[in-house]
Amino acid sequence: MARPWIPSLYRTHDVQTPAPSAERVDGLLEAVDPISTRLEAEPYNPALWTERADLYLQLNYPELAVGDAYRARLLFERSIPPSYDGTNGVPEVPTEDPNLEAEEDERIKAYTILGQALYDCHCHWECFEFWLGLTQEKGYPQLSRLAFTKANALKQLLAQKKQAAALNGGSSQQQRDRLRDGSVVTVFYPWMEERHCKRSFEVIQCVNEELKGNVQPPACRLGKSTLEPLEDMLGIFATRRVTKGECILIDRTTTGAASTPLTSPHCENCYDAPLTTPISVSCCGVLFCSAMCRDTAMQTYHRALCGRDFSWLSAPATSLRENASPMRPLLMLRFLAMCVSAGVDVHPLDHPLIARLQPLANVGHLDVFTLGGSVVTPIRILSQLGVDVFKAHCFSTQVLHAIWCRLANNKAGSYDPKLGFVDEITPFLPLFNHSCEPNVEYQKEDGTTTIRFFALRDIEQEEEMFDSYQDVEDLPREERVERMWPWFEQPCLCPRCKKEEGAVDV
């Protein structure tokens, strides 16, 4: 284990799983590894998934417990359920079967862990739906009775949450998300490799090679930021003198998602349309706007997605004009396809387009977690991409959630008149640090996911470049700090804020 134990449980209710005593933590952590080893040999054993889920729950990692307990449920559902031959729609009471009773006990344990873990993650709506669905579970009377009790106990809490969601206003989709979204504190897990918690020298080298092939002559490089005292803080620097108004960087992405599918011929990669000189590929009928988009797509995600129909994923997001839950799986789709295309030898968190992204970990930051969006849908995506989600431990819930935390902290969403709401993570935008007095700005091209950066003033060679994450330049420092807190979980460290902070201290 590379890192200390830090719980991810966000506590607001007494009935959430209590924290383990200090003397129990090491033993619980050590018990995880042998079960993980056994799962490599017995990936279709639901009892092992349940056992590890139980340990995760006791360690206050409910999001990991949800993932393992859900896999146990999938394996239980693969088995043949008890049969009934009752008349008039009323099932007859089955004869006692020790094997069925043992299986019911195993199911009850797995499902109890799954239900409690969902509750701990504040997924109260999904927890209610889960238990309600089990009230009609045929052949398992104890489980049905337990499910009825659990579902009934959640009704009052859900009524309170629904009322609170409505009082906060917003669109119906926003109210729905407030009611249904869960959340956990973002942490680095004890089992994560050190290289998956910090951006390595190899990542910096990779980014700088990409920047050399951008605008000519190259204007940017990645290096250690001048902002202090944050650890692993990188930033973009000028490699030469830049003049005001100059385009310093063109940021094209393979990982953008649009809510409004284009019916006319368009670029599969950046969505650009109409296509004046469309470029086709031999494997299927998709088109690209340029050789660059074609080559980028073929080298990253396209081979995994080619010929597969994911309309079930895009349909719920159709015509969205705002950042909402149906956009999340669309963003994950491109990233998971990209990881699958890279091959089994590349760990998803080592992929260069993921390794460069930083989550807000170990600073008390809350990230969204749901059974549907964080576990069920990614598993369905991976299965459709040909991945065995029981054997491919590189796509564990720990890894999937770690990917999402990076995406959530670095994605940039906006409404586009042609594409509807667009959520994207470009290769370079996340590497610029925020300043309340920026020296560069980025502009998104309508109808595409491409971003261009321009200098707001003359910039000297080796000067760090800053953009602004929000339009806060005209606000006083106190309001800027409040507005920017969700990005940093602390006061802004930009030169202007540090200078004004010093003036106040004096």
**111-164 per-position pLDDT tens digit:** 999 999 999 999 999 999 999 999 988 778 899 999 999 999 999 899 999 988
Integer distance in angstroms from the first to the last C-alpha of the chain? 46
- The β-bridge relationship of strands 440-444 and 412-416 is unpaired
What pLDDT, on the 0 to 100 scale, is given for residue 99?
59
Q: How far is CA 206 from the centre of its chain?
A: 23
Secondary structure in 3-state letters for 48-117 = HHHHHHHHHHHCCCHHHHHHHHHHHHHHHHHCCCCCCCCECCECCCCCCCHHHHHHHHHHHHHHHHHHHH
Please give the pLDDT value at position 78.
86
31-67 core/surface letters (b: 16 or more CB in 10 A; e: else): bbeebeeebeeebeebebbbbbbbbbbbbbbbbbbbb
Selecting from 1.25.40.10, 1.10.620.20, 3.60.60.10, 1.10.1060.10, what CATH number does the domain 22-78+99-185 have? 1.25.40.10
- What does the pLDDT read at residue 91? 34
d(CA 358, CA 407) in angstroms, rounded, equals 9
Q: Above 60 in pLDDT, residue 87? A: no
Q: Each residue of 180-214: pLDDT tens digit?
A: 999 999 999 999 999 999 999 999 999 999 999 99
- pLDDT per residue over 144-155, tens digit each? 999 999 999 999
pLDDT in tens, 392-449: 999 999 999 999 999 999 999 999 988 999 999 999 999 999 999 999 999 998 889 9
pLDDT in tens, 345-360: 899 999 999 999 999 9
pLDDT of residue 165: 85
Local confidence band at 102 (pLDDT 50, 70, 90 cut-offs):
confident
Give pLDDT, residue 504.
Answer: 54
Q: Is it the case that residue 467 has pLDDT exceeding 70?
A: yes
Q: How far apart are CA 234 and CA 244, in angstroms?
A: 24
Q: Which helix (H) or strand (E) holds 336?
A: helix 327-342
Residue 96: predicted pLDDT: 46
What confidence score (pLDDT) does residue 331 get?
95
The answer on pLDDT for 97 being more than 70 is no
CB atoms within 10 A of CB 182: 27
Pairwise pLDDT comparison (506 vs 34), residue with the higher score? 34
What was the pLDDT predicted at 100? Answer: 60
Q: Strands, E, within 246-325: which ranges?
A: 247-251, 256-258, 279-280, 287-288
Structure tokens belonging to residue 339: 């990881």
pLDDT given for residue 446 in this prediction:
86
Q: How do the domains of the chain map onto residue ranges?
A: 22-78+99-185, 194-213+254-424
Per the model's pLDDT, the better-predicted residue between 267 and 139 turns out to be 267
pLDDT per residue as tens digits for the range 291-337: 999 999 999 999 999 999 999 999 999 989 999 999 999 999 999 99
For residue 223, the cross-strand partners are 235
DSSP assignment of 177-229: HHHH-EEEE----TTS-GGGTS--HHHHHHHHHHHHTSSSS--EEEEE-S--S
| pLDDT over threshold 80, residue 238 | yes
What are 211's two structure tokens? 């920047």
pLDDT-derived band at 2 (thresholds 50, 70, 90) equals low
Confidence check: pLDDT of 86 > 50: no
* Cα-based angle 67, 129, 73 (whole degrees, multiple of 5): 35
489 confidence band (pLDDT: 50, 70, 90)? confident
pLDDT single digits (tens) 49-84: 999 999 999 999 999 999 999 999 999 988 744 433
The 10 Å Cβ neighbour count of residue 279 is 16
**CA distance linking residue 443 with residue 247, whole number of Å:** 10
pLDDT of 248-257, one tens digit each?
999 999 999 9
pLDDT at 182: 96
Which residues, other chains included, contact 468 with Cβ-Cβ below 8 Å and sequence gap of 6+? 434, 435, 436, 438, 441
